[in-house]
Amino acid sequence: MAEVRDRKIFAGYYRRHDKKIYYVVCESVDYDTGEPTVILQEYHLTGTRPFLTMPRKSFCEMVPDKDGKLVDKFTRDPHIPITECFIDDLEDKHLRGPVRHPKNDEDEYCVRDYQHCYSYYDYAKDIIDNYVLDRKRFELCAAHKRAIGVRNAADFNKLKNDIYFFEKMLNSLLSEYKDFFTERVIEKKSIRKYASEHNLNRGSVNHMQKKFYTAFAEQLASRDNYEGVCRLLTPPKILADEQ
């Protein structure tokens, strides 16, 4: 019988033991059995994954890691970037969005992973959505000649190369999206505000945003192909009992 740890569950992002990321919406109760459940959604940058339910008991299970040590099946991760697009999607479904807590200056530049995606679309979205803070991280590292918001020199080089490549593309092959990027990312206009100011519906703005991500993803793939490298992660193997 699996060991279960009684714990408080918060709305927000959690990493499953196999490294997959989920957004927990809330706890609920099964109508027929009265069993406590958790409503969650697998994290995907396109926001198209269905919502799932899981018995609270299963969510709180302890599972063995690769060394045989028992660890939480799901571990909360408060450092995953939260996008306006994702919040809007939750609100459209009348669900609670992530709770944002005030950050101090040190938290703002907390370390995050770079080139940590399984597809070029996700990779493109990661660079674009995190550009503002990543640009500040890069400038701080360069100015102070030390790691600020990055783990080491290798991560700094990943950050620098991705920023330079994105800015080069934005000023050339992706120039048609430059104004859109400025308003949505630099000026942090919500989808609602952008749609209103440009006499568009929110669906049109979402479509434009996905086209932007896709166009940049194609350039990232072309760069890797030209350089003979792959900056994507290898998908994790699915455990036999989860197939």
The pLDDT assigned to 243 comes to 42
Look at residue 127 and tell me whether its pLDDT is greater than 90. Answer: yes
Look at residue 31 and tell me whether its pLDDT is greater than 60. Answer: yes
Q: DSSP string spanning 15-71? A: EETTS-EEEEEEEEE-TTT--EEEEEEE--TT--PPEEEEEHHHHTBEEE-TTS-EE
For domain 12-84+89-95, give the CATH superfamily. Answer: DUF1653-like domain (2.30.30.320)
Every domain of the chain and the residues it spans:
12-84+89-95, 104-227
The pLDDT assigned to 99 comes to 58
Q: How confident is the model at residue 126 (pLDDT cuts 50, 70, 90)?
A: very high
Q: How confident is the model at residue 68 (pLDDT cuts 50, 70, 90)?
A: confident
Look at residue 135 and tell me whether its pLDDT is greater than 90. Answer: yes
